[in-house]
Amino acid sequence: MAALEAATQSATRLDTVRDAAADAPWTAPTHLGPIPGELRERADRLLVDQRASIRNLEDLHRETGRHLAAVRAVPSPRDGQSVYLDVSG
């Protein structure tokens, strides 16, 4: 039960952060100049990792949508009737 409560609190914090981010969109600073040469390789790796994370999240989003569609396709029981789902045929 503690794990569920912790997950709920974490999700609530994420919602708060997301809402705050939506209210104050980020803009790149204009006064910093070009990235220093010694940081270029690290910045490139970060960019590659971020793009991979975005692709992964998009894949997970599509997969979750398919799962949700499958769950919604299962009929709801009426008047207390039992519902059986054929998962092998």
Say which residues have a Cβ less than 8 Å from residue 85's Cβ, sequence separation at least 6: 74
| Position 61, amino acid | H
Token readout for 77 is 């029981």
Q: State the pLDDT confidence band at 70, using cuts at 50, 70 and 90.
A: very high
pLDDT of residue 36: 92
pLDDT at 56 over 70: yes
- The answer to whether the CB of 56 falls within 8 A of the CB of 67 is no
Entry pTM? 0.52
- The answer to whether the CB of 83 falls within 8 A of the CB of 77 is yes
Helices (H), the chain: 2-23, 37-73
